[in-house]
Structure 1
Amino acid sequence: MHEDVVASIKSDAMRPVQIIAVAMCVVINMLDGFDVLVMAFTAPEIAREWQLEPQSLGILFSSGLLGMALGSLFIAPLADRVGRRRIILLCLLIISLGMMASAFMNSVTSLVSTRIVTGLGIGGMLASITTITAEYSSDVRRGFSISLVQSGYPIGATIGGSIAAVLIVQYGWREVFMFGALCSALMIPLVYLLLPESLDYLTTRQPKSALASINDLLRKLGKDPLTSLPDRGEHLSVAPVPVLSLLAPKLARATVLLWLAFFMVMLSFYFVLSWTPTLLTEAGLNVEQGISGGVLVNIGGVIGGVFLGYFTARFAVTKLVALFMVMCAIAMIAFGLLQSGLSLMLIFGFVIGFFIFGSMIGLYAITPNIYATEIRNTGMGWAIGIGRIGAVVGPLIAGFLLDRGWSGADCFVVFAVPLIIAMFAVLSMKQSE
């Protein structure tokens, strides 16, 4: 019964409730884009005010990413037990409090602590918004919908970066965190009112009032109501979802390769996003222009993400993602070796953003297809969490290299290598499926 309902939803044209679910996830990810990159936007001013060395900035960049890794590994899997929507609401509250507290910090140590808290919230809900998007999208539109949601990240970063540039010049860096806290808090009632719980979760986990919730969703989807709950299987009601299930014989190879790809892409991804505004400022741009360079990376990401999403319905997503990875590596090597003028640097920033965001978004599109409903959020959460470990390491490595006299251009060449490794992981994963 459950399989028939879900299959009909996947094969039919998307209804308004499905479109609203995807749209809400886009907006949430826009907020994430701003919240994650707020440190990159404010770093030049914080470094000037607190007289910080590059290695200290690397620690600040990585602190939020550490929180995201922990949130992805330990908060996100709870959604498979208590519901995607509840976890998203809890995480929005955590983000709001963390951002608000960050605005009042006066030392590296205290700001690191509040960035970790904020990261816990962001990491905890990213898997849920991707899972809800995959579960509410039709088969034809799934790849595009996931790409659209993940494109919300650079859209939010682009809009947020533009706002941050104005706020920093007019008021100071603390107001940027205040703005982020306000936006996060405003999303809580909107999510409560507009974002539906996952139908797959309701039918498999069957929480209290599940039948009423399912039938309300079926009515909005234009389907006949159920008279009783479908059989969920005894194993779903007795134990939490084991993480080791991701490494079961049929999944182990795909899981390990997926983790490797996420780790390597996020290693390079967060180097680019975290350090680009600061490196451009050190290359001769003022703070506002440096932020604009970071915004250009994200504009490229928006276009790259939509481009990839459009073509996932026409080409194998693994081949597209591998192509994006190798093209991004080439662009990063060219950026480092050419060492051209500032105008060309900005153009390369756009191109790098196009391909690196497409690479990341492609991994998000691949993941839900690997795992069944009852472990989907766990699978997504652990893939993101392993990736976030790479995200923590990337900015730290960059800070270490810069402290020892490496140039920003040299770092771009070094961080192209993980993308080549990720490309081979994705192609190998395709062969193992």
Structure 2
Amino acid sequence: MSIDLRERIDSSPMSRFQWGAVAICVLLNVLDGFDVLVMAFTAQSVSQEWGLSGSEVGLLLSAGLFGMAGGSLLLAPWADTIGRRRMILLCLAIASAGMTLSALSPNALALGLLRALTGVGIGGILASSNVIASEYASSRWRGLAVSLNSTGYAIGATSGGIIAVVLQNSFGWRSVFLFGGVCTAAIIPVVFLRLPESLDFLLTRRPANALARINKFAARIGQPQLSELPDPTEDGTSPTESAGKLRQLFSPELLRPTLLIWFAFFMIMFGFYFVTSWTPKLLVAAGLSANQGITGGVLLNLGGIFGATLLGALSARFALRSVLSAYMVIAGVLLVVFVPATSSIVVGFTLGALIGVFVNGCVAGLYAITPSVYGPSVRATGVGWGIGVGRIGAIVSPIVAGKLLDLDWTPTQLYILVAGAFILGAIAVSRLQSESKKTTPAPVEPSPAGMLSGEPA
């Protein structure tokens, strides 16, 4: 029964309810974009109020990323036990509290701890929202559905930055955090009322009223209802033994794919946060004006809005892994030629926007491809740890870049180094494709989006 329902969802057109669930997941990812930039846009005002040194400001900028890594690594795996929807609601409450209380911070230490707390909530949200978007999309549109989540990040980073500047100029830096906390709290009733629980979680874990909840969802998307729950062990594992267990990621079938996913996440997040964090400063170091450097950074974020969407659209026609590998290689090539091309402002800004397209698309593709590697009983664990390892790369990136700048590396040399990270990520994704062919049952071919088609629930 469950396989029939899973296959019907994979092969049927997307309903308005399914797209609505995807839209809520996109909205949740907007929080990530806003949260990452909120500290960057308020850092100068915070530093002036408390007389902070550069290293102290740097710790505040990193605190949120540390929290996100912790949320992805430690909190997100519990979604395989308590449910993705419940985990999202819990993490929204944590993030809302952390953001709101940040507006009341009496000193830098308190603000840093609250930034880390907010990051824990955001990290837990991202893993579960990407899993839900993947599971409720049809096979054809699954790559687009998950890629749109990363579009939410770019939207949050762009619009959130504009909002932060307006609020800060009018009401001070504390109003920016208060705005974020209120908006995060406002999403909680939307998720409670409109976001369904993960279908594969219901089928695998069989919580109370699972059959009724599955049939309610089936009715809302126009699919026949189930007469009984399926065999809980039909995916080849016992949910009570494997759900949420990190050791499952290191089983003989998943060890190499897990390590490849982790390596790809680390490399791409290392490169992504280098590009988004250092581009304005390095463009100035390369000879552009301060305003031109800021413009280059804005173009990167604007390009990111289109990059994730384009990747998702391409994955509806071509294998997602092939599209993602191509994105990584193109991003690497563009980074190599970027700084020399800034001798022409028009060419440099055009390349900056294109880099935003492909660099953001790489992150979107990793978010989209990771759920396909893991069965439903460990999917949130796998996605959460992949994102968490990626966040470690994000934390390391600015530290490495700063050290190399102190050693007199030029902007061109730094971009070439980061280009190498994207190429290495492409190699890992290519190897992941080979591994997936080994671990996928012979009768099942990867869907165009590289996702769950034919996978037992």
TM-score w.r.t. the length of structure 1 is 0.92
What amino acid does structure 2 have at the position aligned with 1:156? G
C-alpha change, 1:170 and 1:280, in structure 2 (3 Å) is: farther
Q: CA deviation at 1:311?
A: 0.6
CA distance in 2, matches of 1:168, 1:277: 21
**Please, which of 262, 274, 281 is the counterpart of residue 271 of structure 1?**
274
CA distance in 1, matches of 2:58, 2:340: 23
Question: Aligned-pair distance for 1:308?
Answer: 0.9
The alpha-carbon deviation at position 399 of structure 1 amounts to 3.5
Shift of 1:72: 0.6
**SS state of the match for residue 35, structure 2?**
helix
Write the deviation string for residues 74-133 of structure 1: whole angstroms up to 9, x where unpaired: 111111111110000111111111112222335443332111111101111111111111
Specify the alignment match of 2:453 in structure 1.
Answer: none
Instruction: Answer yes or no: is 1:168 the counterpart of 2:168.
Output: yes
- The answer for the alignment partner of 1:312 in structure 2 is 315
Match of 2:84 in 1: 84
Unaligned runs of 5+ in 2: 437-457
- How far apart, CA to CA, are the structure 1 residues paired with 2:144 and 2:4? 23
CA distance in 1, matches of 2:364, 2:202: 27
C-alpha displacement of 1:9: 1.4
Contact preservation (8 Å) 2:244, 2:380: no
Q: How does 1:85-164 map to 2 (within 5 A)?
A: 85-105=85-105, 107-164=107-164
CA change 1:381–1:353 in 2 (3 A) is same
Structure-2 change in CA distance of 1:349 and 1:169 (3 Å): farther
Match of 1:16 in 2: 16
Partner Cα separation in structure 1 for residue 313 and residue 305 of structure 2 = 12
Name the structure 1 match of 2:228.
228
- Conserved in 1, the CA contact under 8 Å of 2:243 and 2:377? no
**Code of the aligned partner of 2:303:** G
Could you tell me whether the CA contact under 8 Å between 2:342 and 2:349 is conserved in 1? no
- Cα distance, 1:342–1:180 mapped onto 2, change above 3 Å: farther
Q: Structure 1 residues 369, 93: CA separation in 2 closer, same or farther (over 3 Å shift)?
A: same
Indicate whether 1:361 and 2:367 are aligned. no
The residue correspondences of 1:339-418 to structure 2 (distance < 5 A) are: 340=343, 346-402=349-405, 410-418=413-421
Structure 1 residue 228 displacement after superposition: 2.8
Give the distance between the partners of 2:99 and 2:349, measured in 1 at CA. 29
Q: CA deviation at 1:227?
A: 3.3
Structure 1 stretch 388-397 or stretch 104-113: which is displaced more?
104-113
Matches within 5 A, 1:189-338: 189-233=189-233, 235-238=238-241, 240-276=243-279, 284-285=289-290, 293-338=296-341
Percentage identity across aligned positions?
47
Cα displacement string for residues 383-422 of structure 1 (whole angstroms, at most 9, x for unaligned residues): 1111111111112223334456556565434333211211
C-alpha distance in 1, partners of 2:401/2:60?
A: 12
Deviation per residue, 1:274-314 (Å, 9 max, x gap): 3345656886436xx86654432211001111111111122
Q: Which residue identity does 2:426 align to in structure 1? A: M
The Cα of 1:256 is off from its aligned counterpart by 0.8
Partner amino acid, structure 2, of 1:336 = V
Inter-partner Cα distance in structure 2 for 1:314 and 1:182: 40
- Relative to 1, partners in 2 of residues 1:278 and 1:173: Cα closer, same or farther, differing over 3 Å? farther
Secondary structure of the residue aligned to 2:377 is helix
Q: Which runs of 5+ in 1 are unaligned?
A: none
Give me the whole-angstrom Cα distance separating, in 2, the residues matched to 1:33 and 1:195.
21
1:66 counterpart residue number: 66
> How many residue pairs align between the two structures?
431
Change (3 A) 1:50 1:405: farther
Q: How far apart in 2 are the matches of 1:172 and 1:347? A: 34
**In structure 2, what is the Cα distance between the partners aligned to 1:408 and 1:52?**
27
The change in CA–CA distance for 1:235 and 1:431 in structure 2 (over 3 A counts) is: closer
* Cα RMSD for the two superposed structures: 2.4
Counterpart amino acid of residue 416 in structure 1: A
Distance in 2 separating the partners of 1:172 and 1:405: 37
Distance 2:405 2:49 in 1: 20
**Aligned CA distance change for structure 1 residues 346 and 61 (closer, same or farther; 3 Å):** farther
SS of residue matched to 1:232: coil
Q: Cα distance 1:400–1:109, how it changes in 2: closer, same or farther (>3 A)? A: farther
Code of the residue aligned with 2:238 in structure 1: it is H
CA distance in 2, matches of 1:415, 1:57: 24
Q: Is the 8 A contact 2:341 2:348 kept in 1?
A: no
Calculate the TM-score normalised by the size of structure 2. 0.87
User: Matches of 1:136 and 1:18 in 2, distance apart?
Assistant: 6
Whole-angstrom CA distance in 1 between matches of 2:241 and 2:408: 56
Query: What is the one-letter code of the residue matched to 1:422?
Result: G
Deviations 1:308-353 (A, max 9, x none): 1111122222222122112222322333345547666544432221
Residues 290 and 184 from structure 1, CA distance in 2 versus in 1: closer, same or farther, beyond 3 angstroms? farther
**Conserved in 1, the CA contact under 8 Å of 2:242 and 2:377?**
no
AA at the equivalent of 1:216 = K
